C-alpha cells in the first residue's frame, strides 16, 4: 500500500537531543511532519494540542517516564486513540508487557534503526487508517439502517392510511347512505299515505343520515389534507371561550334531539396560542363523539383546568377551574366529559392508532369510524399539546388535551 507520508504528523518525545536529531532528520526526509518534546509533561501538552497521528515515546526520562506519560495519554479522551510506540534500550520482557498493558501498540529498540522505525510507524498508520475507515463504514451502515427503519415506518403509516381511507369509503361511508337512500326512495309513498308527524319523522331521519355523511366527509377531507401536508398551520392568540361557545350553539340541536344536556363551565375568558381552526375542529369532533355515545338524559360538559405541563405523563393534577391562575408560559387542560357508555380499557389505546380498525356504534346506532380521534390527536400534537382519555364502561369518558395558554388580555 502506497502511503503519502506528508499528510501524517509524528510526535517524538525523547530527552536525548542526539536521538532526536537522528530520527527527526530521517523522518522529515521521508515527508512526515515532525513535532518534538524533551520530556513527558511537554509531550502530553503537545499531544493534546497537535493531536498527532502517532507518538514515538522514550521510556527512560526524568520527572515523568514514558510509562506514566502513556498512562495519562490513554486516560485522556483527546489522546487515548493515538498509537504509542515505545523507544527504549530496555529489553526485559516484563517492561514490554507493562508497556502493552498501558496501551502501547509497539516497541522499537535503541539504538534506533531508521528503517525499522519507518516500517513500524507505517504499519500502525495503515492500521489506524483502516480502523478509521471501518468506523466510518460502520457509522454509515448505522445511519442507513436508521434511515431504512424510518422509511419502513413511514411506508407502514402510508399503507395504514391507505387501508383506513379505503375502509372508510367501503364500509363507514357506505353505511350512512343506506338509510338515506332507502328513506328517500320511500318518500313519495310516505308523502301520500303518512300523517304529518310521520312525514316530519322521516325528514328527521333523512336529515340525520345526511348530517352523518357530511360530518364523515368533512373529517375525511380534513384528515386527507393533513396526510398530504396541505394543512396550513397558523397559530394565533384567541379566546378559547368563544370557540367552545360557538360549538355548543352549533351542536345544541343535536344534543336536544337525544335529550342530552350540553354545557360548559367556562365563565371567564381564557386566551390560548394555537391554530384556531384546528382547535375549533378538535372541540367540535370531541363534542360530537361525546353526544354520539351518550344515551338520553345524559350530559356532556366542557371544562378548562390549569396545567403545569403539556403532558399527562408528567403528573398534572386537576385544579379548581380558575383561568386567572394561568400564565403565558403555562398550559391548560381542556376536558370534554360525558356520561356515556364508556370504553373498555383494552380498547382505549387502539383509538389513537391509524393501523387499528375500531368501529363502535353510538347510542342511536350512529356509526363511528375512529377517524375523528386520530385527526384530533394529530392536530393537538401539531399545536404542541397532548391528548389522552379516561373512561369507565357504563359511567362515561373524559377526553383531555393540553394547549399552551396566553392568559394576558394584551400580548
Q: Which domain covers residue 302, as residue numbers?
A: 234-411
Nine cell digits for residue 126: 495503515
Is 80 in the same domain as 200? no
Is 65 in the same domain as 178? no
Is 246 in the same domain as 209? no
Residue 308: the pLDDT is: 54
Mean per-residue pLDDT, 374-386: 88
Is 276 in the same domain as 389? yes
Return d(Cα 191, Cα 227) in angstroms, integer.
Answer: 45
- Using DSSP's 3-state secondary structure scheme, residue 305 falls into strand
231, 264, 299 - which closes a domain: 231
Considering the domain boundaries, does residue 71 fall inside one?
yes
* 70-79, 99-108, 297-306, 345-354: least confident range: 345-354
Query: What is the CATH classification number for the domain harbouring 251?
Result: 3.30.565.10
DSSP-assigned beta bridge partners for residue 401: 334, 387
Nine cell digits for residue 29: 526526509
Return d(Cα 201, Cα 82) in angstroms, integer.
Answer: 87
Return d(Cα 330, Cα 306) in angstroms, integer.
Answer: 8
- Using DSSP's 3-state secondary structure scheme, residue 11 falls into strand
Q: What is the mean pLDDT of the chain?
A: 82
Is 223 in the same domain as 319? no
Instruction: Give percent of the chain with pLDDT exceeding 90.
Output: 45
Mean per-residue pLDDT, 16-28: 90
Task: Count structural domains, the chain.
Answer: 3
Is 357 in the same domain as 383? yes
Listed in sequence order, the residues at least 6 apart from 276 whose beta carbon sits closer than 8 Å to its beta carbon are 234, 236, 238, 243
Residue 64: the pLDDT is: 93
Is 260 in the same domain as 372? yes
Considering the domain boundaries, does residue 68 fall inside one?
yes
Is 297 in the same domain as 208? no
Residue 37: the pLDDT is: 94
Considering the domain boundaries, does residue 154 fall inside one?
no
Is 109 in the same domain as 214? no
Does 95 have pLDDT greater than 60? Answer: yes
Return d(Cα 57, Cα 44) in angstroms, integer.
Answer: 11
Residue scoring higher pLDDT (379 or 230): 379
Is residue 105 within 8 Å of 83, Cβ to Cβ?
A: yes
- Using DSSP's 3-state secondary structure scheme, residue 367 falls into strand
Does 26 have pLDDT greater than 80? Answer: yes
Is 336 in the same domain as 306? yes
Q: How many other C-beta atoms can be found within 10 angstroms of the C-beta atom of residue 158? A: 11
Considering the domain boundaries, does residue 121 fall inside one?
yes
Is residue 291 within 8 Å of 336, Cβ to Cβ?
A: no
pLDDT digits (tens, 9 = 90+) for 113-133: 999 999 999 999 999 899 989
Place of cell 442507513: 144
Query: What is the CATH classification number for the domain harbouring 99?
Result: 3.40.50.2300
Considering the domain boundaries, does residue 105 fall inside one?
yes
- Using DSSP's 3-state secondary structure scheme, residue 123 falls into helix
Q: Distance between the two ends of the chain, CA-based, in angstroms? A: 68
Nine cell digits for residue 49: 494540542
- Using DSSP's 3-state secondary structure scheme, residue 376 falls into helix
Let me know if 338 is exposed, middle or buried by CB neighbors in 10 A (0-12, 13-18, 19+): buried
DSSP-assigned beta bridge partners for residue 391: 397
> What is the full DSSP assignment across 150-201?
HHHHHHHHHHHHHHHHHHIIIIITHHHHHHHHHHHHHHHHHHHHS-HHHHHH
Is 404 in the same domain as 259? yes
Place of cell 382547535: 279
Is residue 260 within 8 Å of 294, Cβ to Cβ?
A: yes
pLDDT digits (tens, 9 = 90+) for 53-83: 999 999 999 889 999 999 999 999 999 999 9
Considering the domain boundaries, does residue 351 fall inside one?
yes
Does 298 have pLDDT greater than 90? Answer: yes
Is 254 in the same domain as 383? yes
* Alpha-carbon distances, residue 361 vs 137, 164, 211, 367, 370 (angstroms): 55, 18, 16, 5, 11
Residue 266: the pLDDT is: 82
Return d(Cα 270, Cα 332) in angstroms, integer.
Answer: 9
Q: How many other C-beta atoms can be found within 10 angstroms of the C-beta atom of residue 103? A: 16
- Using DSSP's 3-state secondary structure scheme, residue 62 falls into coil
Considering the domain boundaries, does residue 258 fall inside one?
yes
pLDDT digits (tens, 9 = 90+) for 324-373: 444 445 788 999 999 998 888 888 877 776 555 555 555 555 555 567 78
Amino acid at each position: 500500500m502506497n502511503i503519502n507520508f506528508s499528510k501524517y504528523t509524528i510526535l517524538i518525545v525523547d530527552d536525548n537531543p542526539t536521538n532526536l536529531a537522528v530520527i527527526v532528520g530521517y523522518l522529515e526526509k521521508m515527508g512526515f511532519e515532525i513535532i518534538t518534546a524533551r520530556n513527558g509533561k511537554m509531550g502530553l501538552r503537545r499531544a493534546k494540542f497537535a493531536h498527532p497521528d502517532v507518538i514515538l515515546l522514550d521510556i527512560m526520562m526524568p520527572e515523568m517516564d514514558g510509562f506514566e506519560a502513556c498512562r495519562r495519554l490513554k486516560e485522556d479522551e483527546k489522546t487515548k486513540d493515538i498509537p504509542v510506540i515505545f523507544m527504549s534500550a530496555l529489553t526485559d520482557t516484563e517492561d514490554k508487557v507493562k508497556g502493552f498493558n498501558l496501551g502501547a501498540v509497539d516497541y522499537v529498540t535503541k539504538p534506533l534503526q531508521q528503517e525499522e522505525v519507518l516500517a513500524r510507524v507505517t504499519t500502525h498508520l495503515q492500521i489506524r487508517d483502516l480502523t478509521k475507515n471501518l468506523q466510518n463504514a460502520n457509522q454509515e451502515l448505522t445511519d442507513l439502517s436508521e434511515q431504512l427503519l424510518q422509511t419502513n415506518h413511514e411506508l407502514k403509516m402510508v399503507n395504514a392510511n391507505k387501508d383506513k381511507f379505503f375502509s372508510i369509503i367501503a364500509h363507514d361511508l357506505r353505511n350512512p347512505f343506506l338509510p338515506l337512500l332507502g328513506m328517500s326512495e320511500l318518500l313519495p309513498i310516505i308523502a301520500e299515505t303518512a300523517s304529518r308527524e310521520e312525514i316530519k319523522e322521516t325528514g328527521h331521519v333523512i336529515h340525520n343520515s345526511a348530517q352523518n355523511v357530511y360530518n364523515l366527509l368533512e373529517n375525511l377531507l380534513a384528515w386527507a389534507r393533513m396526510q398530504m401536508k396541505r394543512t396550513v398551520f397558523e397559530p394565533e392568540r384567541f379566546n378559547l371561550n368563544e370557540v367552545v361557545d360557538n360549538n355548543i350553539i352549533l351542536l345544541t340541536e343535536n344534543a336536544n334531539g337525544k335529550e342530552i344536556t350540553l354545557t360548559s363551565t367556562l365563565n371567564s375568558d381564557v386566551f390560548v396560542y394555537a391554530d384556531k381552526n384546528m382547535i375549533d375542529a378538535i372541540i367540535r369532533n370531541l363534542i360530537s363523539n361525546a353526544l354520539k355515545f351518550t344515551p338520553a338524559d345524559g350530559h356532556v360538559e366542557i371544562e378548562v383546568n390549569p396545567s403545569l405541563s403539556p403532558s399527562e405523563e408528567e403528573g398534572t393534577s386537576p385544579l379548581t377551574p380558575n383561568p386567572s391562575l394561568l400564565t403565558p408560559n403555562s398550559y391548560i387542560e381542556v376536558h370534554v366529559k360525558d356520561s356515556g357508555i364508556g370504553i373498555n380499557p383494552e380498547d382505549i389505546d387502539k383509538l389513537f392508532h391509524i393501523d387499528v380498525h375500531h368501529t363502535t356504534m353510538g347510542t342511536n346506532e350512529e356509526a363511528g369510524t375512529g377517524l375523528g380521534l386520530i385527526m384530533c390527536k394529530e392536530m393537538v400534537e401539531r399545536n404542541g399539546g397532548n391528548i389522552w382519555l379516561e373512561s369507565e364502561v357504563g359511567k362515561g369518558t373524559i377526553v383531555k388535551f393540553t394547549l399552551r395558554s396566553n392568559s394576558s388580555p394584551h400580548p
